[in-house]
Every structure is written in C-alpha cells, then in structure tokens.
Amino acid sequence: MFKKLALIVLGLIVATLGGGFVYLTFKKPAMQPASTRAVPRTPERIARGKYLFDAVANCADCHSDVAWDRFATPIKENGYAVGRRWPAELGLPGDFYSPNLTSDKETGLGNWTDGEIIRAIREGISRDGRVLFPLMPYSEFRNMSDEDVESLVAYMRTIPAANRRQEITKINFPVDLMIKSVPQPVTSPVPSPNKADRVAYGRYLSIIAGCRTCHTPTEHGSPIPGMEYAGGERFELAGRNMAAVSYNLTPDNNTGSGTWDEKQFLDKFHQYKDYAEGKAPPVTPENFTVMPWLSFNGMEDDDLKAIFAFLKSLKPVEHAVVTRPLASGK
C-alpha cells in the first residue's frame, strides 16, 4: 500500500506541474453535509462495532500506539485507540498522525457528531472539512454497509476517554492540493451483505478488511487489470533493511492459494494467538510484515471461511512473488 501511495503521489505531482496548480488551489473537494442522524446504540450494534473495529476493519491497528519493533506491531499498554504518529521510514509525503478515536472531548471524538464520524470513515472528509490522506482507506470503506458503519460509531462512543493529543497531519505540497479529488460522497443507501451467500459476503469482508488493496499489484498507482488479489505489492521500512511483498491469494496451484484447504487457511490466522496476547517477537527482515495478523487473529471462523470461499471463487492467476525479499539468503 505504501508503494501504491507513493506512485499515486508521483502521478499527482506530474499532473500539478502539467498546469493544474491554479485550478487545484481553489478547488473544493466533493463533499456533502454530515448527516444529522443520531446512531441508535444497542448492545448488538456495540458488539458488532467492536468486532469490526478490532478484528476486521483494522481501526484499532491503525489508530493505536503500537510497538513498531515487534512482529505485526502489537498495541502498547494504554495505547488503544489513542492515535499515533506514523514512522518517517514509510516514506509518506508529510508528517502523518492517526487521530485519537476515544470519546475524549478535548483530544478525541467527544465533540464530533455521529454523522461527522461516518462521513470521515466512508468519504474521507474530516469534521473541519479537510480531506483525509488515503492512507485512511475511505475509498474501500465507502463499500461498508450503513448498518456496519453505524455499528462502528455505536462502539466508538463507548471507548473510554483518553486525553492523548495527536498533531494534525501535515501533507506536503503539492499532494495536499491533489488529494482534493479523491473523496466521493456516498449518496445512496449501502445495504448489508447477505451472509448466507458466502462468496458475496466473503468479497465484502475482503474489501473492508483491506485484502483487495494490499494484495492487488499496481502500476503507476493504479491496480493492474486482471491482477486483483494476485499479490506483488511491496511494503518496506526505508533504511531498516525490511521489506514484505503481498502474497498471491488467487487459487493458482503453483503460485497462489490453490492447494490450500479451509483448515489451513484458518490455521494461518489462529497461529498468532499468543502474539496477540503480548508475546510478539522482535521484528526482523525474516518476519517483517504489514499484515495485521494480531487484529485478524480475532476474526470469527465463519467470516474467515467466507473470505476463503470468495478467494476460491477467483480466477487463478499465475504470479510468483518472493514475500521476504530482504531476508537472509534472498
């Protein structure tokens, strides 16, 4: 994803130099007023929202203070949902912070309306009208159902307030102008997927969990046609000799998931249970990953089975990748 973002940034810079500077300086991002609807909070919604926040949509993973020196970046004690600064080694175009999502009124979401939170999640517009950098995957979250996004909000309202101020992200010029074209309002209802249709539900989960984003290779910042879920996206920490390449998830027998059975797929997620409980080892070139294993460890088996069913329905793509290109002997 970080490589993809860098390529998008490069393309945006070229476009700006090509004559769009004046236009973009005055361009207003596509946005609509935040809904005034107050989200009803029920025990069922709060439970669903916590599950999505912690285990599926990776909100906790991206908005918590984490240990970058440990495998799969476990959340630090008292670091849950308080936001964080993103390391400069990721090569992002600016100084990036994930905001505090707790209910604190001074430093978190305590003064936000439910509609403002939903607009930020699915449309990429902050409370003050700023465009969020697409490290926040709102282009994928726009596919999140109305029920699920409201469940997220219902849960987020219950997160205990933590007074932990994060700086406002500062995006470098001209990227700060170019990202104005990214947000798109959600203008019609988004229905809940039919869980009885395992393939369709698995596709839905794979989108809001980021599988499609991270496991689809790109060229010049755009997905390569015919290569969805075929792996090959490179992620690295510059200067730390660590890189990972996303795996081919299509059911190709030679280079992808074609020989996996359902149990093997589930076991891959279950194996990190101890790590999720505070036993993650130090990160090394041999185990470096941006895959949120410690979050996905909490995904329900039925949901993992739905994702597996969806992946098995894909057209096989022969695409061999080396997942740890900087590991010893590679």
Q: What is the DSSP code (8-state) at residue 20?
A: I
Do 80 and 174 lie in a common domain?
yes
Run of H or E including 177: helix 175-178
Model confidence over 49-59: pLDDT tens digits? 999 999 999 99
Do 211 and 116 lie in a common domain?
no
pLDDT at 220 (0 to 100): 77
Whether 106 maps to a domain, the answer reads yes
pLDDT at 18 (0 to 100): 53
pTM over 0.85: yes
Collect the ranges in the chain with pLDDT lower than 70.
1-26, 329-330
Collapsing DSSP to helix, strand or coil, 142 comes out as coil
Judge contact between 134 and 179, C-beta under 8 A. yes
Q: How deeply is 243 buried, as exposed, middle or buried, from its count of CB atoms within 10 A (0-12, 13-18, 19+)?
A: buried
Distance between CA atoms of residues 212 and 214, nearest Å: 6
pLDDT at 322 (0 to 100): 96
Q: What are phi and psi of 16, to 5 degrees?
A: -65, -45
Do 156 and 204 lie in a common domain?
no
Do 88 and 235 lie in a common domain?
no
Do 87 and 204 lie in a common domain?
no
Do 161 and 226 lie in a common domain?
no
Query: Which residues make Cβ contacts (< 8 Å) with residue 132, sequence separation at least 6?
Result: 120, 124, 125, 126, 138, 183
Whether 173 maps to a domain, the answer reads yes
Distance between CA atoms of residues 130 and 138, nearest Å: 14
In DSSP notation, 79-123 reads -TTS-EEPPGGG--SEE-EEPP-SS-TTTSSTT--HHHHHHHHHH
Whether 133 maps to a domain, the answer reads yes
Whether 15 maps to a domain, the answer reads yes
Whether 327 maps to a domain, the answer reads no
pLDDT at 240 (0 to 100): 81
How many residues in the chain? 330
Do 264 and 123 lie in a common domain?
no
Do 229 and 166 lie in a common domain?
no
Do 114 and 208 lie in a common domain?
no
Determine the structural domain holding residue 66 and report its residue range: 2-181
Amino acid symbol at 238: A
Q: How many folded domains does the chain comprise?
A: 2
pLDDT at 106 (0 to 100): 98
Do 26 and 136 lie in a common domain?
yes
Query: How many C-beta atoms lie closer than 10 Å to residue 154's C-beta?
Result: 22
